[in-house]
Structure 1
Amino acid sequence: MSKLVIQPHGRLNDWVADEKRYFRDLGLDYEINLLSAERNTQTAADLQGAGPIPDIISGAFESYREGNGRKGGDAGDVSCARHWTVNQAAKVNDGIMWGKAYSVCEAAIVVPGDSKVMRPEDLAGVEVAVGYHSGSHYSAIQALEVFLPSNDIKLKLAGTAWSRVDSALARKVPAANVFGPQLYLLEQQGFRRVVSTTFMMAFMFPAHVAAQDVEKYIAGLVRAQSDIDLQPELYKHYFLKDMPSRFHGLIDVRRFGVGERVVPQAYSQSIFETTQAWMHERKLFDVGPEIGVSYAQAVQH
């Protein structure tokens, strides 16, 4: 049986489970793949130029489609993305969604400290940087539609999470929706939260990957969660593992929160179908809810 290739997601659990040999204890043969494509990011010329940054109309959903359940051709056998994307990718049979656990991470739309935006209502007509068909895209809509009519919500498709950090630091966007370590970094650089956009994330794997290996992987993450909950200060240094080195000099990870938290609860059929309805009511994909497979086929539960 081949090794399970794990694509980390910027959370502490993968590294704690590796350090403490939880994956090995569970009998999992694995490797952690830190390689990530530099696509869906703004270029240095875009960030330094006088004009606006271009829209990047590609995101996590498109990566799953390209990788047939892997998050890109060179990504891991098991990966994580915001639950909306994983839900739809599994629905259209681009991979299999893990239904026995999910994760939750604090996130927020932030603005520079000197911004005139003080309340969510002040974001009417203001571009908020998000990643196309990624969690920041859906969660910005979900959070802002409580305060604003849909035609007042303006999204800027600025690329990946770290690309949005680059764009925010370069003052190329007036606001950005970021999560976990990206949120903590911008807060240390003086950015302010305007509205929380906390959201669920889900796990995805291709059809050829053994479900029992994914089961062992998730069990290792859950076990590591207890260590993080008990003594988070021992493990925050692992945030640097997934963070581009260009940001290391800007932050003190000791001041970070704990980021993404693994929840060993079911991603139920009700959650799946409610999410499908929400996405398709807003016409976030080119196909309708009638396209694809059932919950029973899309989700390993």
Structure 2
Amino acid sequence: MTITVRTEGIGPSAVFALPWLVADELGYFAEEGIEVEFVRNRAEQVLTEPVADHELVDSIRNHVPFEEGQVDVYRACEWGQIRRAADSRRGAKIFGKRSSVAVMALMSAPGSPYTYPQTLAGEPIAVSFHNGNHYAAIQMLEGFLEAGEIKAVGYHTIDGYRAVQAGEAAVVALSEPWITLAEKQGFQKVIETHYAGLELAAPNFDHDVYLGCNRAITRAVADINADKRAYLHYLIDSLPAVFAGEITPADFHLPRLRYVKPEPYTHLEFEKAYSWMRRWGLIESGSRYEDLVFPGPGTEADAEADADAAR
């Protein structure tokens, strides 16, 4: 019997879903008895103008199909997934770490005076609230600026990009393939980082199926790392149509694209991320690892048992 798994993967999230897309292309899911259906994410709350207060933005706004039961599993940044697991009306659970180690960069317009982190003190930084670029922007800048000097403003990615071009924002936080596009168009990179992500799934999602997905993804990760350029068309195609033809696989700096095998999400990792979010007022108190992380096989306890057995 073939089991169908519905997941986000086309559109803006292609860079984070690349191992899923490649595993499907190469038939690895089919060999596990799994059929994957890729669903485009959809926002219920659409920002029509910049927003200065992240509390006015719904943490789940880009992942409505999951909350409606149309998606079984999806991936995003570690911090955002902790927040969404806590906010989920469906009872989402963290099943493990995603295989995409995301890159995020703060990019300023060509020739602008924003050339290193300290120049951003008090200046508007275009981010997408409750997504990786929001949290990563803060983490990149807190070593250079005081908390009150970091002025994050919520935009959709393309609107933030345009705001920087128009001089309405100092920098925009971008992932790939937007970084490659921005560099091709002469933007300046102010600072860059990599960060982890998590997979969220429905509370009743079969963990054996999830482990089967991870076996397929692990194989795809090996293929991607052996020849990254062969799969960059997924990223290029995820850009808005207005940028069609702007970049090619040859334009990418391949070391930015990092893919690893899926791993369990540990209690220590959760506590560090959650503590940081609390310190910045990005999540309410009261969430616990035991409440938000699925306790099935392949999680931290199972990994520790395997390590003990190997010793």
Q: Please give the range of the TM-score, normalised by the shorter of the 2 chains.
A: 0.7 to 0.9
1:73-104 superposed Cα distances (whole Å, 9 cap, x missing partner): 37531111111011233245630112255531
Q: Tell whether the 8 Å contact from 1:236 to 1:253 is kept in structure 2 after alignment.
A: yes
User: What's the TM-score once normalised by structure 1's chain length?
Assistant: 0.84
Question: Relative to structure 1, is the Cα distance of residues 238 and 62 closer, same or farther in structure 2, using a 3 angstrom cutoff?
Answer: closer
The alignment's C-alpha RMSD in Å is 2.5
Distance 2:36 2:161 in 1: 31
Alignment-derived partner of residue 75 in structure 2 = 80
Q: Secondary structure at the match of 2:143?
A: coil
User: What's the TM-score once normalised by structure 2's chain length?
Assistant: 0.81
Distance 1:63 1:234 in 2: 28
Question: Relative to structure 1, is the Cα distance of residues 164 and 27 closer, same or farther in structure 2, using a 3 angstrom cutoff?
Answer: farther
The alpha-carbon deviation at position 221 of structure 1 amounts to 2.1
Distance 1:38 1:170 in 2: 25
Q: 1:127 aligns with which of 118, 124, 127?
A: 124
Q: Tell whether the 8 Å contact from 2:59 to 2:84 is kept in structure 1 after alignment.
A: no
Give the 5 Å matches for 1:84-233: 84-91=79-86, 94-99=91-96, 101-159=98-156, 161-233=157-229
AA in 2 matched with 1:103: S
Alignment-derived partner of residue 250 in structure 1 = 246
Question: Relative to structure 1, is the Cα distance of residues 180 and 277 closer, same or farther in structure 2, using a 3 angstrom cutoff?
Answer: same
Q: 1:21 aligns with which of 20, 27, 40?
A: 27
Distance 1:197 1:92 in 2: 27
Q: Secondary structure at the match of 2:14?
A: coil
Q: State, as a whole percentage, how many aligned pairs show the same letter.
A: 25
Q: Tell whether the 8 Å contact from 2:163 to 2:169 is kept in structure 1 after alignment.
A: yes
Q: 2:265 aligns with which of 261, 264, 267?
A: 267
AA in 2 matched with 1:90: A
Q: Secondary structure at the match of 2:189?
A: strand
Distance 2:162 2:45 in 1: 12
Stretches of structure 1 lacking an aligned partner (at least 5 in a row): 47-52
Q: Secondary structure at the match of 1:202?
A: strand
The alpha-carbon deviation at position 31 of structure 1 amounts to 1.2
AA in 1 matched with 2:238: D
AA in 1 matched with 2:197: M
The alpha-carbon deviation at position 247 of structure 1 amounts to 1.8
Stretches of structure 2 lacking an aligned partner (at least 5 in a row): 300-311
Distance 2:260 2:87 in 1: 25
Distance 1:139 1:200 in 2: 10
AA in 1 matched with 2:188: R
245-254 or 223-232, which moves further after superposition? 245-254
* Count of residues in correspondence between the two structures: 283
Q: Tell whether the 8 Å contact from 2:43 to 2:61 is kept in structure 1 after alignment.
A: no
Q: 1:234 aligns with which of 230, 234, 247?
A: 230
Q: Tell whether the 8 Å contact from 1:78 to 1:214 is kept in structure 2 after alignment.
A: no
Alignment-derived partner of residue 49 in structure 1 = none
1:160-217 superposed Cα distances (whole Å, 9 cap, x missing partner): x344334444554221111121211111111111011322111111113222222222
